Each structure stands twice: as structure tokens, then as C-alpha cells.
Chain A
Amino acid sequence: MGLFSLIRRVGRVAEPAPPHPAASAGPAALRGSLQLRHVDAGSCNGCEIEIGGCFSPVYDAERYGTRLVASPRHADGLLVTGVVTRNMERALRDTVAATPEPRVVIAVGDCARNQGEFAGGYGVVGAVGDVVDVDAEVAGCPPTPTEIIAVLRQVTGR
């Protein structure tokens, strides 16, 4: 069994968890469990790669009680990346409306926070905060998985 010996040889890949954060963002109902839906409002896919990295074995965001889900109806939090483009404005509003309360909207990356590189573009409506209410932000272009996970842990408190 090649895979079995590989599992034994590699062992644990996840890096040790950073110190425990104080729960400071998001409603108390979401402590310990946060299901996330990712919305790409017009991103260059840099932030997507980093979000993918968060759930890789190395960073393992699932150990803090977060999980990516397939439907906004199942989600407690939306990870919104990129500037909001004209084509995605309506979709972003609908996705937020489809997410049951209590919910958190997290703007990931500089474009989502303040339009970043794409400020003033002809297809750009604005930053995420101009379209929907934002509860937490992650700075960086793109932010590292460590920075994204630090904000997620502030919501789950784990």
C-alpha cells in the first residue's frame, strides 16, 4: 500500500496553533462553529488561493471550528474577495440576503476593503463596504492564510 506508507511517513502536517485569540468579532451565537461561504465579487484569484491555503493540511482552519459550505443558506459567514464589479453587485446583495441571521460578512484583501489596485475602474461599483454591511476585514494583497485565520478565530473564539 503506497498511500498507507506515505501517511505513516508524513505524519502530522498541520503547524502548531498560534496562541488562543480573544473572541472580539461577530455575534455570540457563532462561538465555536462558523460555516463559511466564499463570494468572489471580482477578485484576481490571489485571495482565493490564500483561502484555499487556509483549509490545507498546513494551516488547517477546520481545527478552529470553521468549515466551507456549499450554500449561503448553510453559512454563518461570507468571505467576500475582490472589488465589487457591476455584474456581481446584485449577486452579492442576494447572497447576503440568503444567509440566515446572525451572520458575519468578512471582506478579505485590500480590494474588498478599499478597492485596492482596481480603484476607479469602469466596471467597479466600489469596495464591499459600499454595497453591504461588513463586520470584519482582512488587510493584505493578498493576505496570508495566517492573517485570514486570525480574523476567523476572532469570530469563533477557538
Chain B
Amino acid sequence: MLSVSGVAGMVTQVVGVAAGAPLLVGWMRQVRARLEGRAGPGPAQPWRDLRKQLHKQNITPDGTTVVFAAAPVVLAGTSLVIAAIVPGVTTGSPLDRVGDLFAVVGVLLLGTVALALAGLDTGTAFGGMGASRVVTIAALVEPTILVAGVALSVPAHSSNLGRIVATTAADPGLVASPAAALAFAALAVVVVAETGRLPVDNPATHLELTMVHEAMILEYTGPRLALIEWAAAMRLTVLLTLLVNLFVPWGVAGAGAGPAGLLVGLGAVAFKVAALGTALAAAEVFLAKLRLFRVPELLAGSFLLGLLAATTSYFLTGPAG
């Protein structure tokens, strides 16, 4: 099953996500800055921040354990594994056999839980508060991803991500179905919640009491902080890639594509993710952060959309032939 094309595609994907994720975050901040009338620091600023953090002192706060030290590595590791699995550049990744929707959601949750435990491990009030909030959100987000994924997997008769993307690419009519539209709305909301963007969490906030993701990482310094910020950028990139390729899969290289196919796949996915990132950043200018106790209502709404998508999908597709 190990083809040269598949391995090359997977390496391209991982390197592309690793190098491109901070640029995507920088680009989204730049879009926001321009819409707010500011000049902005340029899309390369997150890379400058990361380079600087690597040269800084690594402080381990008193009383923290191995959980605190291991969480950044686990988070970055899970993000890289998902970057290798998700069909971004190619559907022929050698990890395609484990590229199941349920596996991806599980690996994603592993990173979330590692960081939540690290937030608790610091023993500070804000760390525990952030951990409790992120777990509340994760508990509502994961079922929605699964239900919306089931809706998409019905036409493909498989929950394998590569198979779903290949089926949609072969039959563009599927994108226009009501099930796909409902599933897209549900997944868009959960991606925003999972990556800590407005209106669920404000990535630019300085107010500890309103923080979700930031509150857990307040005690991290230097290289560990760089690892967490890099991993958070990769999660955003990977989830946007998944969202865009599940619904607009054109350009993705199939199994056994040559170097030209992989290059087209890379260009297509980079363009699509940048466009979606621009739209997300522009939408954030118009949004205020939701009150924390309203967030479950938003996520329950997206779960309902996901459930409707799954039901519609079964009715429209009919029994598997």
C-alpha cells in the first residue's frame, strides 16, 4: 500500500502545514488590522515571534509536574499526525487506512485534553478556569463533528476522509445537496469553537476572566510557548483544510498522482485555505464575543444542524446498494 506518490503527498502536506500555519495566522491578523484601519505587522510576524521565543529562557513554575512539560509536545505531535492524515494535498496518504473521521476527532481531543490537564497542573486559578471552559466546549463540539461527518459519509458509504473527499470530487452534485449545506453550517461553527476564534473565544484578549485557550497557557514561557502557539496555528490550518476539502474538494491529488498533481494539490489547498481564512478574519470584525453561558446554545444549534444533515442525508441517499 506504500506508494511513492502517497508518501511524497503526505510529506508535502505535513511540511506545508508546519511552515504555512503561522503564515495563515499572520495573514488573518493582517486582514483584521487592515479592516480596522491599522497598518498591521505583516503576515510573517508569527514566525518572528516563534523564532524569538525559541531563544528565550524556559521557566518551569514551582510545583508543576511532567504533565506541564509534556503537554506542548503532545499537542504539537497530535497536530502533526492530523496534518499527515487529513486529505489536504492528496487523498492517497499512506495513513489513509487510519484516516477515519472518528480517529481524527479522537486525536484532536487528545491534544485538547493534554493542554487542559497542563492548565490544571499549574494550580493557578486561571489555569483551572480555562481548562474547565475548554472541556465544556470540547464536550459539545466533538459530537457535532461526528454527526456532521456521518452526514457526509452516507453518500460515500465510508467514514474514511480520503474516500469522502474522492466521492465528492467525482460527483460535484453532492455539494449542492441540502445535507451538505446543513453539514457545512454545523462544521463551520464547531471549527470556530474548536480553534478558539470569535465569537466563542477572543484570541487577542488580555482579560483573564474572558479567556478560554489563553488562560491555560498563561504560565508557559520560551520554547514551550512557541511549541503551543505553533501547534494551535497548525490545528487552525488543519481544521480549515478539512472543512474546505470536504465541501470544495477540487484540485486534491488522487492516489497515484505525479509530482505535477501534488504541486497542483498544494497550490489549490493553499489558495482555498487562505480564502477561507480571509473570510473568517473579515467576519470576526463584525462579531463580538459571546457570553460564556450563551456558547452552549450556539453549539447546541450547530449539533441540531448536524443531526438534520445526517437525517436528510439518509433520506436522500436511500439504502446502500
Contacts and interface: CB of A to CB of B under 8 A. Distances in A.
Interface of A: 1, 3-4, 7, 10-14, 17, 29-30, 32-33, 35, 57, 60, 62-65, 67-71, 73-74, 76, 98, 100-102
How would you classify the secondary structure of chain B's contact residues: helix, strand, loop or mixed? loop
A30 B39 CA distance: 21
B51 A33 contact: yes
Interface string B47-66: 01101100111110000000
A63 B214 contact: no
B41 A13 contact: no
Interface residues of B, number: 34
Contacts of A10: 37
Contact of A73 (B42, B55, B219): B219
Contacts of A102: 55-57
Contact of A7 (B56, B206, B220, B285): B285
Nearest to B225: A74
B218 A100 contact: no
Given A3-B285, A14-B38, A33-B52, 12 more contacts: A12-B34, A13-B36, A13-B37, A62-B38, A63-B41, A67-B41, A67-B49, A74-B218, A74-B225, A98-B59, A100-B59, A100-B221
A43 B55 CA distance: 33
Given A73-B219, A74-B221, A100-B56, A33 B38 contact: no
B222 interface: yes
Interface string B164-181: 000000000000000000
B41 A100 contact: no
